[in-house]
Structure 1
Amino acid sequence: MAVPKERVVIHQTQIHGSIAPDHDAILTPEALAFLGQLHRRFDARRRQLLKQRQERQARYDAGALPDFRADTGSIRESDWQVAPIPAALQDRRVEITGPVERKMIINALNSGAKVFMADFEDSSAPSLANQLDGQINLRDAVNGSIAYRSPEGKQYRVGANPAVLVVRPRGWHLPERHLTVDGEVMAGALVDFGLFAFHNAHALHARDQGPYFYLPKLEAMEEAQLWDEVMSVTEGELNLPLGTMKATVLIETLPAVFQMHEILHALRNRVVGLNCGRWDYIFSYLKTLRGHRDRLLPERGQVLMTVPFLKAYSELLIQTCHRRGAFAMGGMAAQIPIRGDEAANEAAMTKVRADKLREVQAGHDGTWVAHPALVPVAQEIFDRYMPSPNQLSVKRTDVAVTRNQLIAPCAGTISRAGFDNNVEVALRYTAAWLDGQGCVPIHHLMEDAATAEIARSQLWQWLHHGEVEFTDHAPIDFALFDHALATHTHRLRDSDLPGAKRADEAAALLATLTHAERLGDFLTLPAYEKLA
């Protein structure tokens, strides 16, 4: 039974809300004191960096376009390498990702993938209970005690040769309102990172497995420098050798693609690689260029990695990483198995194979999947075309990417079905998220916050830039959106789908965000205020 912890104060680090008895083992006095240290040392700088994001976006909204930095040319042009990559991360040909839910963790560790990215961010709805349960689950996974018994009585345990664990904390922009230090709300990133490191760093270091982290949503080298300092200070506080903690950075924002050398340089003593976070990257393209009528994107199904601006992004990432001795990780295959329809399932798997073939032939060192059934599909492609553990020798000296290629408009169309699908995905995901579920299967795709962000951003873009029409030349307008939203809300409310109980709240939030004069930065920020 959850108990209130409103009056628990450790060195002015305070818990707000109710926690279960098991959570006391995570929120120990020592752990809370450690979180307080991280907050006092780094939060002011974090807030300053977020302010700089807003200032950059204001310039883009006023007509400017992202570009390579003039003040960091020497970093891009000089010769340097990142630190040697640990043995446990030398082969990352297939990585599986998912939320920090107990059964998911076990299945992912047993999936046959080389790496499991345990996600506190885009595939988790960050209620206090979810985040703390996730910390318990990861602690048990690290110490070897994790097990799960389903309601039907099926037992789940981790087998031999599990995937290497890598943890993704929340991005710098997300708060953790249930923990305050000196009356200030903590950063979700510092809470997720700090608690995991505090409880697991020594055990992982003893096994030469980190701890390892994926760092999301970075926009500038200074944000990477902040993570480097957070990790260095943590290593000192926990008496670990400097450089023990390793990081892979997701290049999933448009501003970050222009600073990949700089981000690697800022983390050069601990960075392992960069990842093509394709879904968030498309969302960031939409958000960054929200004021530019000439940068509209067609419906999501047409914005594939083969379109010019995404192809340029992927190839530049490979070239950049391999020049510096870092891995270039490919993107997510969001497909999930289609039970009971062999033809449809094979068509979905054919898309996965084609995407993974493109990645391995381009020079990527590994790739992501969202479901255990896709691990052998992706691995077969990478095993055939990448017999060595990685492709650092593939330098891609043939690649010469310009600023204009990275922001090139994307040709395509918008169908009525594509518009309707965006409304449905944005609504159903938001409702499930409000109900505590951050990873939602919709039409045989595993949708997370990034794909929901694409859906709601495209709706805003099409509706606010005017004179946008369907393939049949009918106009796209707010009356159509309002009708589609009402229809899907009624269907969801009367269903047994995830989030049905929160359908009306999700619809109201989505309507507000879509009708707003400015595209909101993140769906999860206003939604967080409504999260139980």
Structure 2
Amino acid sequence: MILQIENHMVTNKTSQLTLNTPLPAEASHIFSPEAMAFVDALHQEFNERRLALLAMRRKRQKEIDNGALPDFLPQTRHIRVDFWKAAPVPEVIADRRVEITGPVDRKMIINALNSGANVFMADFEDANSPTWQNVYEGQVNLFDAVRRQIDFTAPNGKKYALNEKIAVLFVRPRGLHLPEKHLKYSSNCASGSLVDFGFYFFHNALKSIENGFGPFFYLPKLESHLEARWWNDVFNFSEDYLGLKRGTIKATVLIETILATFEADEIIYELREHSAGLNCGRWDYIFSYIKKLKNHKQFILPDRALVTMETPFMDAYSKYVVQVCHRRGVHAMGGMSAFIPVKDNETENQAAFEKVRKDKLREVLNGHDGTWVAHPGLVQVAKEIFDQYMPEPNQIHKVKPTHDFTAADLLTPPALVVTEKGIRHNINVALLYIESWLSGTGAAAIYNLMEDAATAEISRAQLWQWLHNKVVTSEGIEFTEYVYEKLKKEELAKIKGMVGEKRFASGRFRVAECILDQLVLDVEFTEFLTLPAYEFLP
């Protein structure tokens, strides 16, 4: 095995990947010369294509801005209508009825693996603020978790360690658009995707296979089957590099962009040796709907609270993903329940649990093979619903009569109702989340919901769309820059009162305010809030 790795290191190309920041001793084994050589090889082989794919995204966005609407691709119709199936998934992930997600924090990893969920998705993306410390500690934590040598002692002395039975580990690297500024490839920032995937895969693929559970991944933010092809080629290259059997890697693609829905069949097809199905990443999906259709007045969305899975385009999306996945023999995973247990208020706690039950019931009856929760306290609630209505490991074999979904089905919005309360809530949550992210916490409990970057993206995107389309609230007020400034000032005062003057002064609320102003007021829509905000991270 070592010989095979060394052979790949013998290349005519000079290594161009370098660390440009001090490396703590506890992470030195992660950034070993051999691991750096592998991640460098990934960049040499795939980074130029990644940048070209991002340029294609921008070109497609301009076309939509200028009047085009998302639709199924005529040139790939044969893939949608032909009969084919993806490779079967390993038995260890046949049953994925409840999956828990969270950042790559050491305590979180232990609690999630011990939670009773079938799968834990360790997240370098939306639930993780990619400070350098979070990135390298996340790799160390996963290295230890795969080897079952992870433990943690809290400041109060409480000790955490793995149970005998733990969840199956999946890892979500950052999206194609995100850089890693602490590693340079040539003279530019390295790719967050290739850094997260590469170091985890190099160190843990063989050990996870030995332990019978991987390597398994989630892929975020894909917008086309060409991006799925890119990942498939990354997987092929990586398997060859370590001498692994083709198809060893399995990956679930998050259908969390409106464009990916129209290429769901094609995405599975591109990854068919490596596919572990699709997941309905609902929060990013709403954000993508706003972002892609932001210039189309007929697709302006109402208050965030009114955009639910019962909304026409969201209901069609859920059912279409199930239909596609089951025709192709792979899992159709449901979306995230952002609710968390409510301490010291049993009435509110039970109300939250009931909302989770209702949400999971809809998913299992739609045909989903599993679902997501954000907190260990919700695992059993979701599991009870799926146990009752899905006694078998999954529902992949239940191929319902095909419904001919149209582009209109997948785009139909709900009625437009925008309220001052909805505007205030978006401002308030966006400020709280961005400040949390800037402070190094990417999964933040806000008003009894576990918020990540996706929900903050919805909030700021709606504010931009409402402002630039001159939306009038149900109270009869046009949403203008003046109104935004007035409400923002009032919401900042509320936040200051809620967190206290000391916390407000020591926090990063003023930086968060400046970032939100840029995101809402700029004429050009900023593609991801994490891009300008990343400049403020250590």
Query: Into which bin does the TM-score normalised by the smaller protein fall?
Result: over 0.9
Q: Residue 470 of structure 1 aligns with which residue?
A: 473
Letter of the structure 1 residue corresponding to residue 508 of structure 2: R
Give the letter for the 2:321 counterpart. L
One of 492, 502, 512 as aligned partner of 1:506: 512
In structure 2, distance between residues paired with 1:221 and 1:386? 31
The residue aligned with 1:45 is: 49
Cα distance in 1 for partners of 2:516, 2:119 equals: 35
DSSP-derived class of the 2:531 partner: helix
Partner of 1:374: 378
Residue-by-residue CA offset, 1:249-271 (whole Å, 9 max, x unaligned): 00000110000000000000010
Take 1:34 and 1:517, find their aligned partners in 2: how far apart are those partners? Answer: 41
**Correspondence 1:428 to 2:432:** yes
Work out the CA distance in 1 between the residues paired with 2:415 and 2:47.
42
- 1:3 alignment counterpart: none
Aligned counterparts of 1:380 and 1:499: Cα–Cα separation in 2: 45
Report the Cα offset of residue 398 of structure 1: 4.7
Deviations 1:203-252 (A, max 9, x none): 01112211000000000101001101101111111121111110000000
What amino acid maps onto 2:483 in structure 1? L
In 2, the alpha carbon distance for the partners of 1:412 and 1:382 equals: 34
| 2:6 matched residue in structure 1 | none
| Residue 23 (structure 1) aligned with residue 38 (structure 2) | no
Q: Distance in 2 between matches of 1:509 and 1:108?
A: 32
Residues 20-40 of structure 1, C-alpha deviations (whole Å, 9 max, x = no match): 221211111111111110001
Separation in 2 of the partners of 1:227 and 1:27?
22
2:464 aligns with 460
The alpha-carbon deviation at position 396 of structure 1 amounts to 2.4
Matched, 1:246 2:250: yes
1:459-494 per-residue CA deviation (whole Å, 9 max, x = no partner) reads: 11111101x222222222222211222233344456
1:354 aligns with 2:358: yes
**Conservation of the 8 A alpha-carbon contact between 1:493 and 1:501:** no
2:398 and 2:469 map into 1 onto residues whose CA distance is: 42
Q: Which of 41, 44, 62 is the equivalent residue of 2:66?
A: 62
Contact 1:331–1:367, Cα closer than 8 Å, also in 2: yes
How far apart in 1 are the matches of 2:481 and 2:156?
A: 46
For residues 302-317 of structure 1, the aligned pairs below 5 Å read 302-317=306-321
Whichever residue aligns with residue 244 of structure 2, its letter is L
* Unmatched 5+ stretches in structure 1: 1-9
TM-score (norm 2): 0.95
- Determine the structure 1 residue equivalent to 2:489: 486
Q: Is the contact between residue 31 and residue 198 of structure 1 (CA under 8 Å) also seen in structure 2?
A: yes
Following the alignment from structure 1 to structure 2, what is the Cα–Cα distance between the partners of residues 490 and 195? 43
Q: Aligned with 2:507: secondary structure?
A: helix
Quick one: which amino acid aligns to residue 485 of structure 1? K
Q: Spell out structure 1 runs of 4+ moving beyond 6 A.
A: none
**Pair 1:145 & 2:149 matched:** yes
Partners of 2:266 and 2:537 lie apart in 1 by 36
Q: 1:89: which partner in 2?
A: 93
Q: Which residue is 1:529 aligned to?
A: 535
Q: Give the secondary structure class of the aligned counterpart of 1:71.
A: helix
Structure 2 residue identity aligned to 1:112: G
Instruction: Report deviation, 1:344.
Output: 1.1
d(CA) in 2 for partners of 1:105, 1:479: 44
CA contact (8 A) 1:339 1:345 kept: yes
Q: Where does residue 169 of structure 1 map in the other structure?
A: 173
Give the distance between the partners of 2:178 and 2:315, measured in 1 at CA: 30
Percent of pairs with identical residues: 49
SS at match of 1:297: coil
How far apart are the structure 2 equivalents of 1:360 and 1:500? 45
Return the offset for 1:127. Answer: 1.1
Q: Provide closer, same or farther for how the CA distance between residues 189 and 528 of structure 1 changes in structure 2, counting only shifts above 3 A.
A: same
1:429-472 per-residue CA deviation (whole Å, 9 max, x = no partner) reads 11111111101111000000000000000011111101x22222
User: What letter is aligned with 1:460?
Assistant: W
Confirm whether residue 119 of structure 1 aligns to residue 123 of structure 2: yes
Amino acid at match of 2:124: F
- Residue 520 of structure 2 aligns with an amino acid whose one-letter code is T
Q: Tell me which amino acid in the other structure corresponds to 1:422.
A: N
- Distance in 2 separating the partners of 1:512 and 1:525: 12
Give runs of aligned pairs for residues 5-16 of structure 1, distance below 5 A.
11-16=15-20
Q: Matched residue of 2:508: which SS?
A: helix
Go from structure 1 to structure 2 and tell me whether the alpha carbon gap of 1:211 and 1:59 turns closer, same or farther (over 3 Å shift).
same
Higher mean displacement: 390-399 or 322-331: 390-399
* SS of equivalent to 1:18: coil
Equivalent residue letter for 2:475: D
Deviations 1:9-60, CA, capped at 9 Å, x for gaps: x933211123322121111111111111000100000010110000000000
CA distance in 2, matches of 1:360, 1:21: 47
Amino acid at match of 2:49: R
Secondary structure of 1:165 counterpart:
strand
Give 1:384 shift. 0.3
Deviates more, 1:21-30 or 1:378-387: 21-30
* Partners of 1:99 and 1:438 within 8 A in 2: yes
SS of 1:72 mapped into structure 2:
helix
* Counterpart secondary structure, 1:98: strand
1:272 alignment partner in structure 2: 276
Q: How does 1:185-224 map to 2 (within 5 A)?
A: 185-224=189-228
- 1:431–1:499: 8 Å Cα contact kept in structure 2? no
Distance 1:236 1:129 in 2: 31
Q: Residues of 2 paired with 1:118 and 1:498: CA distance?
A: 30
Verify the 8 A CA contact 2:311 2:413 in the aligned structure 1: no
Q: Which amino acid aligns with 1:50?
A: L
- Distance, in Å, in 2 between the alignment partners of 1:445 and 1:430 is 15
**Residue aligned with 1:189, SS:** helix
SS of 1:25's equivalent?
A: coil
Q: How many residues are paired up? A: 522
Letter in 2 for 1:76: R
User: Within 2, Cα distance between the matches of 1:293 and 1:213?
Assistant: 37
Cα separation, partners in 2 of 1:199 and 1:247, compared to 1, 3 Å? same
Contact 2:16 2:40 in 1 (8 A): yes
| Structure 1: distance between partners of 2:505 and 2:349 | 26
1:329 aligns to what? 333
Distance in 2 (CA, whole Å) between partners of 1:359 and 1:216 is 21
SS in structure 1 at match of 2:445: strand
**Residue in 2 that maps onto 1:135:** 139
* Aligned-residue offset at 1:154: 0.3
**Aligned mates of 1:231, 1:271 — CA distance in 2:** 11
